[in-house]
Amino acid sequence: MIEHLRGDALAKPRTVAAEPVERDPEAGAVTSDIARGELFVQRKDDAAHKVRLRWEPGAGTLRELPAGTWVVTGYRRIADADDGAQWIWSTTSPGYREIRVAAGETTHVDVRRAPAAQVRAFRAKNGQHRVGITFVAEERLGHTLYRGGTRIALTWQCLDAEGAVLAEGGMQYG
């Protein structure tokens, strides 16, 4: 990461911004369920060879990669809220999933559509309640949410049956 920030060209992912006009017969294609966003991959046998596959609406669905085994190191989903603010859900991992890209074939990569909240535990003791909540992306992925370019905090509220707030707070994550 430091190499990337310092501008080391070998550490920077190159961007595949649009569907190839002419297909390379030695390469394979990658598709994803990401309508707007990016998929980050690196060659399994050469971590310096990083690629950012980008999808934008109306830009086609195929992204070309040289044949071989690739490691998905994260993805980013982008969406606009009704008020015009841009939401970004970004995930990262040093080795989340491997994909095999074969020459002349298409490999599809599905990723989770949104983070999920999972309740881990609930206990009542001496009038106190403890609830463990985990916000998850996919296994072995860290994740961060941004709204309007700013990282947002996750907040929570515990309500009674009438909707009155009994407790509330914030959570650290990422």
**pLDDT digits 0-9 by tens, 81-105:** 999 999 988 888 887 789 999 999 9
pLDDT on residue 112: 74
Task: Identify the CA nearest to 40 among candidates 69, 16, 68, 67.
Answer: 16
The confidence band for 162, taking pLDDT boundaries of 50, 70 and 90, is very high
- 90 DSSP β-pair partners: 76, 144
106 vs 58, which has greater pLDDT?
Answer: 106
**pLDDT digits 0-9 by tens, 115-128:** 666 776 666 777 77
Range list of H helices, 1-101:
2-5
pLDDT on residue 2: 45
pLDDT on residue 107: 93
Q: Three-class SS string for the chain?
A: CHHHHCCCCCCCCEEECCCCCCCCCCEEEEEECCCCEEEEEEECCEEEEEEEEEECCCCCCCEEEECEEEEEEEEEEEEECCCCCEEEEEEEEEEEEEEEECCCCEEEECCCCCCEEEEEEEEEECCEEEEEEEEECCCCCEEEEEECCEECCEEEEEECCCCCEEEEEEECCC
Least confident span in 2-16, 112-126, 140-154: 2-16
Domains of the chain and any CATH numbers: 2-109 (2.60.40), 116-142+153-171 (no CATH)
- 24 DSSP β-pair partners: none
pLDDT on residue 13: 64
